[in-house]
Amino acid sequence: MIASRFIIPLFSGILFCTTAVSQNASINVLTQHSGIVQVGKTVFFEVTINNTDPSSNIGVYKLKAQITVPDSILTIQTTGHNLPTGWEIISNSNGVISLSNGKDIIASNDARTLLIALQGKNTGGPVTISGQLFFSNGISPGTDPGSLKDDKPADNYSTSSCKVIN
């Protein structure tokens, strides 16, 4: 009798804890080479997408990463990016590039790193470069709006800086 008083609540608590976990994706950004690039040269903007959920995968065509640069001093290259297998460029124009996780399933507690090639255009800065995470409905090409159940929006935006020199 006493054992059931403790065992039943213990197992109930364990079951509740394993099912109460919410799914979350986050984005972190960093400009390589201390954020300095010369006019006409290329620097990588490093974007890390994390699946912080301990038990759920993030499915295909669910994530959209949008990177925004001030196009008065930087250009997002059309080629030269280093993307994980399965990731796709949705659009790239006027200082904004959007990418989808396409056919890449991101396992729980796993991350993906994308390297976006930026070229110095005019001297200036430091300027802010931002990365924002949006969600899609899981259907190709990953451009329609969607959601990630119980996502924490506070970690869906990150910034870095870049300075263009001669």
How confident is the model over 29-63, as pLDDT tens digits? 999 999 999 999 999 999 999 999 999 999 999 99
CATH of domain 23-165: 2.60.40.680
Checking if the pLDDT of 130 tops 70, the result is: yes
Please tell me which residue, 118 or 1, carries the higher pLDDT value.
118
In the predicted structure, residue 16 carries a pLDDT above the cut 50: no
Average the pLDDT over 101-110 and give the result: 97
pLDDT value, residue 15: 40
Q: Is 85 exposed, middle or buried (0-12, 13-18, 19+ CB in 10 A)?
A: exposed
Q: What is the CA radius of gyration of the chain?
A: 20
